Amino acid sequence: MKKLTSIIMTGLLLAACGQQQKEADFQYEVDRFADVQILRYKVNNFDQLSLNQKMLVYYLSQAALEGRDILFDQNHKNNLSIRRLLEAVYVNYTGDKTAADFEAMTTYLKQVWMGNGIHHHYSEDKFKPGFSEDFLRTAVQGIDSTQLPLATGESVDSFIARVFPVIFDPALYPKRTNQENDVDLVLSSANNFYEGVSQAEVEAFYQGMANPNDPRPVPYGLNSKVVKRDGKIQEIKWKVGGMYSEAIIRIVGWLHKAAEVAENESQKKVISTLIDYYETGNLETYDKYSIFWLQDLNSQVDFVNGFTETYTDPLGMKATWESIVNFKDVEATKRTTIISDNAQWFEDNSPTDKQYKKEEVRGVTAKVITVAMLGGDCYPATPIGINLPNSNWIRAEHGSKSVTIENITEAYNQASSGSGFREEFMVSKEEIERAVNYGALTDNLHTDLHECLGHGSGKLLPGVSPDALKAYGSPIEEARADLFGLYYVADPKLVELGLLPDMEAYKTQYYSYLMNGLMTQLTRIQPGKNIEQAHMRNRQLIASWVYEKGKDDKVVELKKVNGKTFVVVNDYEKLRGLFGELLKEIQRIKSTGDFEAAKQMVETYAVKVNQEIHTEVLDRYAKLNIAPYKGFVNPVYTLVKAEDGSIADVQVTYDENYVDQHLRYSREYSVLPSMN
């Protein structure tokens, strides 16, 4: 599970003032197009790693980049064809590159890179090209056909006939992942996890596979595509020798090199088990790898690499490929260590019913990390916190590893200071001041609590399937983790533990959360659309639930001042009580697998948008001229050779721009066929 940034981070948080001075020479903004701002992140203290650790980062980073094409293909069957087509035109076009059509195509190509395909990474909607079909046809016909990603035996004309409607016909594949109620989610989603099968067929297929009495079920369906061949439903595994083999072989090659410079035996075992899993596709090996991975606590360098998160599958089974390479921020990790050392206290004192609590919280380990490389579904858009593995029984028996990614948060904060966002949307000077003083601190702390305690808390009752909540599972799980963080960020225990300076600090987290959930996150939604994304659903769910339940006592109000709507929190203590009440109910839903209650909760509070407020928020936000989404470029690592040919150092540089980086990745890390 991952925690994504909320819209609030685009304008609210300021890091410590001294830092800004120090960072003045580092250029955070790299590019800007459509609704996106591209930033650069800084790999603080990379110099302080040993040569072996730097080489490990280097090899794992190569492995992180090799999976990029897998994700494109997972997101839609024609994505690789379309990306390669656009890149070929971008590079080889001989016409006027300043003409409006070419510029619109460039923007579209940048969006495709950002979305890892033709759909928006967050809204799931297909991008609308701002250039004409005629322009692209002429451009395609004008370049050498050997530059085009034609399928075997395909003519340019049939290539155009295959690919153009996918780009230009808005009725075709409109949604990457469809979450709407009462439709066939498999057939109406554009992603490439299923082909020629209905939702009912897929559900029946997996129902037959899993034994409901198995206390340690593997994550069925995690690493395969489901197809119907000769009338029979079957899985094609993503592994060496299976689907995506060409890319996975390259990943495995780099992992072998990484294993040679591993920090210790335990990390070596993690890497070799991952290799074994990639080679066999065996999900029991995957579970074994996950356990080794969460138990590897002494290594400073760490990574995620593989088919991991299931948000893009409307049925929540198929995992997209992602990678993050990172190393521990030793100083900041002291904070999360305090939290995880007290995990049992937090579990025992939470407002949930005793029968849904964990008697013994196991191995919740948390650390603050510095990201060194992002790949697959963590690039260009990236989370600010991660908690893995996702398997419920592994979490219950072995615990989980949770990370807060501080150099990404730092980049957000640096890039957004002075945008005018909080002056526009916060109701009073007092709230603004609190945000300045405590915003960054409580935000990092909320991420720690969300990841390291929230997701790890509670338990399922015996016999309850982890998939019982189906499409509602993701927003309910995210709400649970957020509520755990919200409830505890206001607890005197945090002051006692020295994590917060006083009982004022939490208020800014509460205020920002409600302002975001009730208003400002709507800047990410197109007029007239509903909320689809799991994290956004969870935030609106929480905010509008407490708003409704606290109405009689006027705990939270939406007030008009000079014609503008503002969130007003009248009673912070009562608000905490409401968060606790909702946490109790959400935990009950999760623990008992109460599908109907989950559906009711999500459909009532999380999906529909208040049209009037939406229009107003979009209007006010537009005047600020802030891009609602952020993406990142990676740094570039270069091996420095000594005179005898051995590796003397690894250098990190930050001068590659967004376009050059993607074109280079498409040249150097792109071995999959256009159609898989």
Q: Which residues bind Zn ion (CB under 5 A)?
A: 1, 3, 478, 481
The tokens describing 44, both together, are: 């603080």
- Helix ranges, 399-532 (H): 406-416, 421-425, 429-448, 473-489, 492-496, 506-518
- Helix ranges, 42-142 (H): 51-65, 68-75, 79-92, 100-115, 133-142
- Position 543, amino acid: A
CB of 580 to Zn ion, least distance (A): 19
CB of 534 to Zn ion, least distance (A): 9
CB of 487 to Zn ion, least distance (A): 15
2 exposure class (CB count in 10 Å sphere: 0-12, 13-18, 19+): buried
CB of 537 to Zn ion, least distance (A): 12
272 exposure class (CB count in 10 Å sphere: 0-12, 13-18, 19+): middle
C-alpha span between 365 and 464 (Å, rounded):
26
Contacts of 596 (CB under 8 A, 6+ apart): none
Contacts of 155 (CB under 8 A, 6+ apart): none
Query: Which of 1, 483 has the CB closer to Zn ion?
Result: 1
CB of 336 to Zn ion, least distance (A): 15
Query: Which of 3, 176 has the CB closer to Zn ion?
Result: 3
CB of 310 to Zn ion, least distance (A): 13
Query: Which of 1, 12 has the CB closer to Zn ion?
Result: 1
Q: How do beta strands 629-633 and 224-229 pair?
A: unpaired
Query: Which of 149, 485 has the CB closer to Zn ion?
Result: 485
* 448, 339 contact by CB (below 8 A): yes
| Cα–Cα distance list, 623 to 424, 432, 616 (Å) | 10, 19, 11
CB of 535 to Zn ion, least distance (A): 7
Query: Which of 73, 478 has the CB closer to Zn ion?
Result: 478
CB of 359 to Zn ion, least distance (A): 23
β-partners of residue 401 are 365, 388
Query: Which of 31, 478 has the CB closer to Zn ion?
Result: 478
| Cα–Cα distance list, 159 to 85, 140, 164, 166 (Å) | 10, 10, 8, 11
C-alpha span between 343 and 283 (Å, rounded):
30
Q: Among all residues, whose Cβ is closest to Zn ion?
A: 1
CB atoms within 10 A of CB 41: 25
610 exposure class (CB count in 10 Å sphere: 0-12, 13-18, 19+): middle
CB of 486 to Zn ion, least distance (A): 13
CB of 354 to Zn ion, least distance (A): 24
CB of 538 to Zn ion, least distance (A): 8
- Position 288, amino acid: K
Query: Which of 12, 386 has the CB closer to Zn ion?
Result: 386
| Terminal C-alpha separation, the chain | 27
C-alpha span between 289 and 193 (Å, rounded):
23
Cis peptide before 380 (omega within 30 of 0): yes
* 517, 543 contact by CB (below 8 A): yes
Query: Which of 66, 478 has the CB closer to Zn ion?
Result: 478
Exposure pattern of 504-527 as b/e (b: 16+ CB <10 Å)? ebbbbbbbbbbbbbbbbbbbbbee
CB of 493 to Zn ion, least distance (A): 22
Query: Which of 14, 489 has the CB closer to Zn ion?
Result: 489
Query: Which of 82, 386 has the CB closer to Zn ion?
Result: 386
Q: Which of 83, 80, 106, 94 is nearest to 143 (CA)?
A: 94
- Position 216, amino acid: R
Residue where the block lists tokens 């295959």: 162
Q: Which of 531, 530, 567, 562 is nearest to 550 (CA)?
A: 567
C-alpha span between 534 and 1 (Å, rounded):
11
* 358, 347 contact by CB (below 8 A): yes
Query: Which of 160, 403 has the CB closer to Zn ion?
Result: 403
Query: Which of 251, 598 has the CB closer to Zn ion?
Result: 598
- The number of C-alpha atoms within 13 Å of 41 and in the hemisphere containing its C-beta is 31
CB of 58 to Zn ion, least distance (A): 30
CB of 1 to Zn ion, least distance (A): 4
CB of 385 to Zn ion, least distance (A): 7
C-alpha span between 56 and 49 (Å, rounded):
10
The tokens describing 170, both together, are: 């808005």
Q: How do beta strands 301-309 and 320-328 pair?
A: antiparallel
- Position 450, amino acid: H
β-partners of residue 664 are none
Query: Which of 167, 294 has the CB closer to Zn ion?
Result: 294
β-partners of residue 386 are 2, 403
Query: Which of 267, 538 has the CB closer to Zn ion?
Result: 538
Query: Which of 54, 535 has the CB closer to Zn ion?
Result: 535
CB of 404 to Zn ion, least distance (A): 12
Query: Which of 46, 579 has the CB closer to Zn ion?
Result: 579
